Amino acid sequence: MGKPIIPQRRGKGSATYRSPSHRHKGVPGYPRNTTGQGKVVDIFHAPGRSTPMAIVQFGNTTALLLVPEGLRVNQTINIGSGLPIEMGNILPLQEIPEGTLVHNIEGVPGDGGKYVRTAGTSAAIVTRGDKIIVQMPSGAIRSFDGRCKATVGILANSGRADKPFAKAGNKYYSCISKAKRNKKVKGVAMNACNHPHGGGGHPHVGTQSTVSRHTPPGRKVGRLSPQKKKARSD
């Protein structure tokens, strides 16, 4: 069968690849069944996120929200219907006029926000009707339910990509991050315990590099064998 490869072990969520929970204060999202005015108590950097987060007090309810540009401590923001279109206010999409820049858009009413959450990004309201048409940061056009909430404004920390590494160590650690690794390592370059193609004294797979579509996990690596052609019944 073979041994589970690195992506399988990472996906399982073992302690080796899991981010420690004590570093994270929670997932940002809109508080349910809450309307009215809230006060920004604190703004902090959240590990694993490019956008800062804010602790906002809505009466007896405390919420974690993503920070738009210009938001500061002790500032007040509002959530609900019939609100002015001001930075930081949270409204249903059907009440936000065309051309307004928004972020943290709900995919389904009440889910707390799932779209446009990366630092420096925003989406634009295109048209309003039975569905709200929104242009995403990628340029794609997407439709949403008018009851889905969104926050007015552009997300903060847009200059994060402009920050220089300054020294080689920072560049090194940015490349070996377990969560954000984007480099591809050949299986033949790994050890035998990390990949079915690994091991040996020289870079050679050691067996056929194609595997069946029915191969069990841990061995299903490389290229899939081509499907057999069905005989024609002429």
Q: What is the pLDDT of residue 53?
A: 96
CA distance linking residue 135 with residue 206, whole number of Å:
50
Question: Model pTM?
Answer: 0.71
CA distance linking residue 209 with residue 220, whole number of Å:
10
Q: What is the pLDDT of residue 145?
A: 95
Strand locations in 169-233, DSSP E? 210-211, 223-224
Please indicate whether residue 207 or residue 180 has the higher confidence score (pLDDT).
207
- In this predicted structure, the answer to whether residue 13 has a pLDDT above a threshold of 80 is no
Residue 27, burial from CB neighbour count under 10 angstroms (0-12, 13-18, 19+): exposed
pLDDT for 92-128, tens place per residue? Answer: 999 999 999 999 999 999 999 999 999 999 999 999 9
- Which one, of 201, 223, 198, lies nearest residue 213 by Cα? 223
| Mean pLDDT calculated for residue range 65-70 | 95
Q: What is the pLDDT of residue 181?
A: 54
Q: What is the pLDDT of residue 102?
A: 97
How many secondary structure helices (H) and strands (E) does the chain include? 2, 12
Which domains can be identified in the chain, with CATH numbers?
A: 31-160 (2.30.30.30), 177-225 (4.10.950.10)
pLDDT above 90 coverage of the chain, percent: 52
pLDDT for 22-40, tens place per residue? Answer: 888 899 999 998 999 999 9
Q: What is the pLDDT of residue 234?
A: 58
**Residue type at 225?**
S
pLDDT for 119-154, tens place per residue? Answer: 999 999 999 999 999 999 999 999 999 999 999 999
